[in-house]
Chains A and B, each alone.
Chain A
Amino acid sequence: MQKEFEQVIADNQGRIRYIASRYCQHNDFEDMYQEILMQLWRSFASFKGNSSRETWLYKVALNTATTFVGKTIKRRELRQALAKVAAPEGQIGQENCQADILNAFMNTLSDIEASILMMYLDGLTSENIAEVVGITANAVRVRIKRIKSTFEDQYIGEES
């Protein structure tokens, strides 16, 4: 089981790190990352393969991240507010690589929307995303459409 788990971590380290960094401040990062790993390890034995490995991973990671007792709940709200202020329309075009644009855009979204977007970009189906967050697949599709349209308003509109 240990070897199998090592493989899961090796394959998903980037995802887990991204989720941890999205949900906390820099000084809480290692704590949250470890907490997610611990919860993954705890639930790995009971993971029976009823859902895909990605779905399981997102469920455990997001459940842990959303209720992580960090010192920074208020500061995270502040970060979101700052991201909106710090990325006024004129500056948006200055981001030159897609990863930077992704990160800047992610910071303007709520945690739930950011989670949905992460899973969408990771190739999970609407049904799988719905299973992770506990809403209907139709609601997921509607939300993705809205996120897409917000993105297009902010970024594509600037290019033209």
Chain B
Amino acid sequence: MKFDDLKTGWKTEVEKTGKQQDLTRLVESLEKETKKLDKSIKRRDIMEISIALLLIPVWAWKLFYSASLLQTIGLWIAIVACIYIPYKLLKARQVESAKDDSLLAFLSVEKSKLEKQKELLETIAIWYLSPLMVAIVLITAGSKVDDAGVPQISEQLMVYYLFCGVLYVGVYFLNKRAAKKKFAPLLDRVNQQIQELKSLNNV
């Protein structure tokens, strides 16, 4: 058997179409699915941004009735976080376009996309959790202060902080795990393929 005899094997494989499909129905469902997917991505983007933007007037309004300096600082942090978080999410989604539509160019863009997504998950404590946590603590603690401006923390509030703390740790580790389990293997694989393609060029 010669190497080029594999072409016969290839032809057999390619002509094996598997189960017969109703192509008209298939294309119709593809069109439907694509539209549905595009809509859900759009909806997700709008939700992420609008929730943050809608909260800004709430925090701003609260500023006029702030009970203490502590609460004022907390409200300002919340306002800045509500602007910064959607900005950070949108920025992470922006990737440079591929220089052509080859596999190598595509993989390079994918690599940069994956690195950004991975970094986003790994640093969630810095850009998402911590600012919100600090804002929550300052806003709630600053809502009841004595004449000297010292916050009066009730038992109920302590339980609430404990709950927030557990949530903080949980979200942090879940994201860290997602970065490790979901993005790291894919990134390794993309890197490996880029290296292989580059090494082919160096022959």
How far does the alpha carbon of A121 sit from the alpha carbon of B203 in the complex, in Å?
22
Q: Evaluate contact between A121 and B6: CB separation under 8 angstroms.
A: yes
Instruction: Tell me the interface secondary structure of chain B in the complex.
Output: helix
B181 CB to closest chain A CB (Å) equals 11
B47 CB to closest chain A CB (Å) equals 22
Q: Evaluate contact between B33 and A135: CB separation under 8 angstroms.
A: no
Partner of A135, one of B16, B24, B104: B104
How far does the alpha carbon of A155 sit from the alpha carbon of B189 in the complex, in Å?
29
- Using Cβ atoms and an 8 Å threshold, which residues of chain B touch A117? 6
Q: Evaluate contact between B34 and A59: CB separation under 8 angstroms.
A: no
- Using Cβ atoms and an 8 Å threshold, which residues of chain A touch B95? none
- Using Cβ atoms and an 8 Å threshold, which residues of chain B touch A123? 7
Q: Evaluate contact between A99 and B9: CB separation under 8 angstroms.
A: yes
Q: Evaluate contact between A18 and B13: CB separation under 8 angstroms.
A: yes
Partner of B102, one of A41, A110, A131, A152: A131
- Using Cβ atoms and an 8 Å threshold, which residues of chain A touch B16? 14, 17
A61 CB to closest chain B CB (Å) equals 10
Partner of B201, one of A9, A122, A139: A139
- Using Cβ atoms and an 8 Å threshold, which residues of chain A touch B9? 97-103, 121
Partner of A156, one of B2, B37, B100, B201: B2
Given contacts A41-B31, A63-B103, A135-B104, contact A122 B14 (CB under 8 A): yes
Q: Evaluate contact between A67 and B13: CB separation under 8 angstroms.
A: no
How far does the alpha carbon of A140 sit from the alpha carbon of B104 in the complex, in Å?
13
Q: Evaluate contact between A99 and B18: CB separation under 8 angstroms.
A: no
